[in-house]
């Protein structure tokens, strides 16, 4: 279903950054746990502000989750979505962690595909960026007490974006290693819950003001092992030739780009890869290359780590470049997709 029409301006592709540009349409589906099915088919409506009760559980308790995925235009003019089914499954898992009924994966994928179609003119040329989709699910039922909600909403909007970091950080990012956890063990760290990110804003900004690009958190229990940055998963190539990334647990989000990188490394490049606890001191002493993965970050090199009074310089990005070439080739439709990751719009 589609209601209304719109005609928002197209941005200047050459000055595109990772910031919001309103597009013509967004998607909305309402859910009610007392209905069968829980979720209605939804509608494509003009991009607009949403109305919500000030007593909604989202407003007081942050009962909401979100996703991020990209659509890319190929040199041949096709538009491709990257792993929308994986994002749909992760949003289900995140929603269940906050006691919300899961949004159907098939409906999630088809809604993303159709939304891109309706906003096709906002998909940048391949050399300038991509169309970023932001699905969200939240509790809209007015309630004063803390508990499960029966009334919910799923919204998806999109925006053309360029590089997450202004200028693209071609030399890599500087990270400040913090002896503190991003989230508590057993908490919502493995869910893409809205509140997880709100808490990271103040922390990251303190160090951005001192010249860093972001922070790297250690685990909450031992304050010793790598977990995540504010919004990406770290990988470290050790002197031994082994590529290591922290294992998934309650403190770490199961990144889609993280999983894609692991599969490319293992199955296409035949690399020695380990998912294990990685002490920061081992990175300082044995690390030769480091990068971080995420939908917004893609694969971004780390050029410098600062941990207490220790400064670790990482001057190579050869492996990251090789992995990124394969990943981008699949995303852009320039090479074979052996994993069935691509959905054509």
**Is residue 260 pLDDT above 90, yes or no?**
yes
**Is residue 169 pLDDT above 90, yes or no?**
no
13-162 adopts what CATH topology?
Answer: D-amino Acid Aminotransferase; Chain A, domain 1 (3.30.470)
Contact of 133 with 156, CB cutoff 8 Å: yes
pLDDT at 4: 53
∠ at Cα 151 (94, 43), nearest 5°? 85
pLDDT at 70: 98
**Is residue 80 pLDDT above 60, yes or no?**
yes
Q: What are 300-342's pLDDT values in tens digits? A: 999 999 999 999 999 788 999 999 999 999 999 999 999 999 9
Which residue among 151, 176, 192, 312 is the active-site one?
192
Contact of 68 with 134, CB cutoff 8 Å: yes
- Is 192 catalytic? The answer is yes
- Domain positions in the chain are 13-162, 167-331
**DSSP symbols for 137-167:** EEE--B-SSSS--SEEEEEEEEEEE--SSGG
Q: Shortest CA distance to 255 belongs to which of 71, 69, 13, 26? A: 69
Q: Shortest CA distance to 133 belongs to which of 235, 260, 256, 302? A: 256
- Residue 1: which pLDDT band, with cuts at 50, 70 and 90? low
Q: What percent of the chain has pLDDT over 70?
A: 98
- Residue 5: which pLDDT band, with cuts at 50, 70 and 90? low
Provide the 3-class DSSP secondary structure of residue 244.
Answer: strand
pLDDT at 37: 95
pLDDT averaged over every residue in the chain: 95
Q: Are strands 233-238 and 287-294 parallel, antiparallel or unpaired?
A: antiparallel
Which residue is it, tokens 């500087």?
174
**Is residue 256 pLDDT above 70, yes or no?**
yes
Question: Does domain 167-331 bear CATH number 3.20.10.10?
Answer: yes
CA distances from 270 to 243, 267, 299 (A): 11, 6, 19
């Amino acid at each position: 279903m589609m209601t209304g029409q719109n005609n928002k301006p197209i941005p200047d592709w050459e000055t595109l950054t990772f910031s919001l540009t309103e597009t013509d349409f967004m998607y909305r589906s309402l859910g009610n746990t007392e209905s069968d099915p829980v979720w209605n088919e939804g509608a494509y409506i003009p991009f607009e502000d949403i109305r919500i009760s000030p007593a909604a559980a989202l407003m007081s308790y942050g009962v909401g989750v979100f996703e991020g995925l990209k659509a890319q235009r190929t040199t041949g003019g096709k538009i491709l979505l990257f792993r929308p089914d994986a994002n749909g499954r992760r949003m289900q898992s995140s929603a269940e962690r906050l006691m919300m009924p899961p949004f159907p994966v098939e409906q999630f994928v088809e809604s993303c595909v159709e939304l891109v179609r309706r906003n096709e003119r906002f998909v940048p040329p391949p050399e300038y960026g991509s169309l970023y989709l932001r699905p969200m699910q939240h509790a809209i039922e007015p309630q004063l007490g803390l508990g499960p909600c029966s009334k919910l909403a799923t919204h998806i909007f999109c925006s053309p974006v360029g590089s997450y970091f202004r200028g693209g950080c071609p030399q890599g990012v500087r990270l400040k290693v913090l002896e503190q956890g991003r989230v508590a063990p057993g908490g919502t760290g493995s869910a893409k819950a809205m509140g997880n990110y709100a808490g990271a804003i103040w922390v990251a900004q303190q160090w951005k003001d001192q010249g860093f690009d972001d922070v790297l958190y250690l685990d909450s229990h031992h304050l010793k092992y790598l977990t995540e940055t504010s919004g990406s998963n770290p990988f470290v190539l050790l002197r031994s030739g082994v590529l290591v990334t922290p294992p998934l647990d309650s403190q770490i989000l199961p990144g889609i780009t993280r999983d894609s990188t692991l599969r490319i490394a293992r199955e296409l490049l035949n690399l020695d890869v380990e998912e294990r606890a990685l002490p920061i001191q081992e990175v300082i002493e044995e690390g030769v290359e480091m990068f971080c993965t995420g939908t917004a970050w893609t694969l971004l090199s780390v050029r410098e780590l600062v941990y207490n009074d220790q400064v670790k310089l990482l001057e190579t990005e050869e492996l990251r470049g090789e992995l990124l070439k394969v990943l981008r080739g699949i995303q852009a439709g320039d090479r074979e997709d052996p994993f069935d990751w691509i959905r054509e719009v």
